[in-house]
């Protein structure tokens, strides 16, 4: 299955009836409008496409079609995958399409960014979205996001970060001369600008918070 390119709408025949649901072939999983689905790609070596079902229709011969809105993976966007993009990150595009319901392989969940960062366990069906994406121009909404650390990068939930007790900013361990293992043992941390002449205390403790949970911090923003 190939995604229809933006600006080339699929042909929609008349005489269709709208359906409330569709049962994925070979399963007992039911799909309804508003659900997130995994759709079979044309290249078997690629991961499944992700889409949100907008409407389900059937013709007189009971051929079922789904109207969908595609999610793009970072590598499918014009700018490509960048360092701050998480492995399960998707962009909600303005690319609408109509596909055969038989191409649906399964269901998934597309979380908000904050909800995803609060998951205790991330399953194979869990994804997240923090940007909308215009497929024709490569533009993102929002076009500005909070950045952190000395490297001034947006937060990647796959990466461990430590928070300075002084300025409350978040840092990648590698950017402040630490290994991941050392960062996991920190009980207190102060960045170079906030640290005093005294050594920063260190002891056993794991960091469970993340920049996405830190609602009090308003880091300077950069256009991304």
Per-residue pLDDT tens digits for 101-113: 999 999 999 999 9
The answer to the question of residue 7 being in a domain is no
Residue 68 near residue 97 (C-beta atoms within 8 A): yes
Q: What is the pTM of this model?
A: 0.79
Quick check: 199 pLDDT over 90?
Answer: no
Structural domain count, the chain:
2
CATH number for the domain spanning 156: value is 3.30.40.10
Q: Which phi and psi (to 5°) does residue 175 adopt?
A: -75, -15
66 plus 155 within the same structural domain? no
156 plus 215 within the same structural domain? yes
Q: Per-residue confidence at 207, pLDDT binned at 50, 70, 90?
A: very low
Chain mean pLDDT for the chain: 85
pLDDT in the model for residue 16: 82
What is the span of the domain harbouring residue 34?
17-141
Quick check: 204 pLDDT over 50?
Answer: no
Quick check: 206 pLDDT over 50?
Answer: no
């Amino acid at each position: 299955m190939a995604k229809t390119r933006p600006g080339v709408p699929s042909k929609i025949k008349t005489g269709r009836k709208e359906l409330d649901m569709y049962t994925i072939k070979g399963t007992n999983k039911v799909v309804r409008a508003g659900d997130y689905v995994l759709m079979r790609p044309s290249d078997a070596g690629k991961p499944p496409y992700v889409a949100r079902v907008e409407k389900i229709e059937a013709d007189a011969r009971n051929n079922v079609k789904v109207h969908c809105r595609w999610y793009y993976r970072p590598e499918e966007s014009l700018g490509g995958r960048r360092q701050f993009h998480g492995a399960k990150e998707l962009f909600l595009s303005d690319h609408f399409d109509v596909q055969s319901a038989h191409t649906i392989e399964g269901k998934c969940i597309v979380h908000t960014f904050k909800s995803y960062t609060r998951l205790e366990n991330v399953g194979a069906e869990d994804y997240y979205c923090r940007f909308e994406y215009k497929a024709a121009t490569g533009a993102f909404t929002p076009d500005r996001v909070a950045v952190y650390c000395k490297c001034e990068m947006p937060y990647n939930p796959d990466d461990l970060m430590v928070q300075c007790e002084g300025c409350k900013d978040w840092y990648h361990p590698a950017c402040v001369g630490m290994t991941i293992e050392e960062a996991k043992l920190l009980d207190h941390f102060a960045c170079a600008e906030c640290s005093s002449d005294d050594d920063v205390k260190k002891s056993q403790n794991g960091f469970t918070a993340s920049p996405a949970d830190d609602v009090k911090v308003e880091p300077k923003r950069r256009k991304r």
